[in-house]
């Protein structure tokens, strides 16, 4: 491979990372808003949040991306910049999976903690912010770590709509060289390295957050399977 082609690949890596960071940020916001809304005391709020997760988890991420890229501009006249369209589609889809993680972790906090908050006459928002979230967030990190790797894998989907991410660059290089084994092996390796770094990063974050609430991180042996229906292949 020539240096020009490597430059193309690096540009693809940069786009992939940008997309990953932006959609992860949007995904986290969506997860927390929707996940907390699912514990709201009003039934209508709970219903709407549940409806959102069902719809976005029910449909395929790729179909969602096609919809945002091709239907939104025609049907509503909203033509988004490619990067933002990709961020929107991925963030909303993976946010729906994240919402389930947030809801699960919140409901796993010992009920006595919540009762203690009520007894001390904390407002619901204070209970959430000062009691529930600090204990629930460290528990969310391992499933979120799995979801982040799924999101990384999901970013490859935007290449189909012509956005210049790593997979797209890989396809261009294949066309230029008329030879596919080498470039696809490199592309797969790069994705693997990014996924590995993300997992490490999340493990460090978990240790730090657990230390904050006075828990030692559990020793994990091999990678654990994610909670059922959250970990795998959510795209």
Partner 1 sequence: MTWDWNAVSDFMPQFWDGLLITLQALVLGSLISFALGLVWALLMRTPSRFVRWPVGIVTEFVRNTPLLVQLFFLFYVLPEWGVTFSALTTGVIGIGLHYSTYTMQVYRAGIEAVPVGQWEAATALNLSRRRTWTAVILPQAIRRVVPALGNYVISMLKDTPMLMVITVLDMLGQARLFSQQHFQFTEPLTVIGVAFIVISYLASLLLRTLERRLVR
Residues that bind partner 1 (CB under 8 A): 54-55, 57-64, 66-67, 70-71, 74-76, 149, 152-157, 159-160, 167, 170-171, 174, 179-181, 184-185, 187-188, 191-192, 195-196, 222-225, 228-229, 231-235
Complex with partner 1: residue 42 or 222, whichever CB lies closer: 222
Give which of 66, 57, 59 is closest to 86, Cα–Cα.
66
Complex with partner 1: residue 6 or 67, whichever CB lies closer: 67
Q: How far is the CB of 60 from partner 1 (least distance, A)?
A: 4
Complex with partner 1: residue 60 or 126, whichever CB lies closer: 60
Tokens 């529930």, residue? Answer: 132
Residue 222 backbone class (left: φ over 0; alpha: ψ -120 to 50; beta: rest)? beta
Q: How far is the CB of 157 from partner 1 (least distance, A)?
A: 6
Q: What sign does the dihedral 168-28-140-37 (CA atoms) show?
A: negative
Complex with partner 1: residue 6 or 192, whichever CB lies closer: 192
**Whole-angstrom distance, CA of residue 86 vs CA of residue 92:** 10
Q: How far is the CB of 162 from partner 1 (least distance, A)?
A: 12
211 CB contacts (<8 Å, ≥6 apart)? 217
Q: How far is the CB of 95 from partner 1 (least distance, A)?
A: 16
**Whole-angstrom distance, CA of residue 117 vs CA of residue 127:** 6
**Whole-angstrom distance, CA of residue 35 vs CA of residue 137:** 12
Complex with partner 1: residue 204 or 229, whichever CB lies closer: 229
Q: How far is the CB of 97 from partner 1 (least distance, A)?
A: 10
């Amino acid at each position: 491979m020539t240096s020009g082609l490597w430059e193309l690949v690096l540009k693809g890596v940069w786009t992939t990372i940008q997309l990953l960071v932006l959609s992860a940020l949007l995904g986290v916001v969506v997860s927390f808003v929707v996940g907390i809304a699912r514990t709201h005391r009003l039934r209508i709020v709970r219903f709407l949040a549940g409806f959102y997760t069902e719809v976005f988890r029910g449909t395929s991420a790729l179909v969602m991306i096609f919809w945002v890229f091709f239907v939104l501009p025609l049907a509503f006249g909203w033509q988004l910049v490619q990067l933002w369209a990709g961020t929107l589609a991925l963030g909303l889809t993976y946010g729906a999976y994240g919402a389930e993680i947030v809801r699960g972790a919140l409901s796993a906090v010992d009920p006595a903690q919540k009762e203690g908050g009520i007894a001390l006459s904390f407002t619901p928002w204070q209970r959430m912010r000062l009691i529930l979230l600090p204990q629930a967030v460290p528990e969310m990190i391992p499933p979120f770590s799995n979801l982040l790797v799924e999101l990384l894998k999901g970013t490859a989907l935007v290449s189909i709509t012509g956005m210049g991410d790593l997979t797209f660059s890989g396809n261009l290089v294949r066309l230029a060289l008329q030879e596919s084994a080498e470039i696809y092996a490199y592309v797969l390796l790069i994705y693997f390295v990014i996924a590995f770094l993300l997992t490490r990063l999340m493990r460090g974050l978990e240790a730090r957050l657990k230390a904050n609430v006075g828990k030692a991180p559990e020793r994990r042996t091999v990678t654990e399977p994610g909670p059922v229906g959250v970990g795998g292949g959510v795209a």
